[in-house]
Amino acid sequence: MNRRGFIAGLAPGLVAVPLVAAWAQQTPRVYRIGYFGGASLASSPPFLEAFRQGLRELGWVEGRNFVIEYRSGEENAGRLSEVAAELVRHNVDVIVATSPPSIWPVKEATKTIPIVMVMGPDPVESGLVQSLAHPGGNITGLTTLSADLSVKQLELLKEIVPGVLRVAVLWNPTNPWHPTGVKRIEASARFVAATARSTGGP
């Protein structure tokens, strides 16, 4: 083979090597999202689909640039810490905590993996973050401020049924934010009762 023929045959290979390298560099990373909740996954398909839909709207394609590791406590609060630790061992890039009981186990399981809470309590009062302005740590997300809403619900109940004297409150002692909510309701009830007495109400 003469030199010209050798170079002509070699040239396509020389071009292909950088193209393959460039393609490899452009291959998108596949991120692993941990989806963690306290309830059974079978009981929350609307939430799962809304989560997937939100990612699709942002341009993410499941199986192409992200995968989801699904875990739940299956309504068993005693298993949440165990399941959270298992999820962390799978080296996920971020953990979505979908319920208040699931936030604390993942907070204890990792100090480095970002945690996004979906329905968290007051994050400052519950000790999840240092402050709203400077949260620190690895937790972010949304809060429902349920404790404040519970107080408002009691006030509305009093307006609807002015003569109400006893109100039952159902709460879960294993849920970290419920005790705070109950304390606020009790304080609000005492205030409402004192106000009613001072105005001559029932």
Q: Is 184 left (phi over 0), alpha (psi -120 to 50) or beta?
A: alpha
Neighbouring CB atoms inside 10 A of 76's CB total: 12
d(CA 51, CA 191): 41
Q: Are 105 and 177 in contact (CB under 8 A)?
A: no
- Rounded CA-CA distance 104/85 in Å is 12
Q: Say whether domain 28-144 belongs to CATH 3.40.50.720.
A: no
- The pLDDT assigned to 12 comes to 45
Q: Are strands 66-72 and 94-97 parallel, antiparallel or unpaired?
A: unpaired
Q: Give the per-residue pLDDT at 153.
A: 79
Q: CA 192 to CA 28: how far, in whole Å?
A: 59
Nearest to 33 by CA among 2, 62, 4: 62
Question: Which stretches within the chain are classed as H helix?
Answer: 3-26, 45-57, 80-89, 100-109, 146-160, 178-198
pLDDT tens for the 202 residues of the chain, in order: 554 443 344 344 444 445 445 545 566 789 999 999 877 666 667 888 888 999 999 999 999 999 999 988 776 777 889 999 999 999 999 999 988 788 889 999 999 999 999 877 778 877 888 887 888 899 998 877 666 677 777 788 888 888 888 888 887 777 666 777 777 778 877 766 666 565 555 5
Axis crossing angle, helix 100-109 with helix 80-89, rounded to the nearest 10: 50
Q: For residue 57, give every residue at least 6 positions away whose Cβ sits within 8 Å of its Cβ, in sequence order, or none.
A: none
pLDDT at 148: 67
Every domain of the chain and the residues it spans: 28-144, 147-198
Model pTM score: 0.65
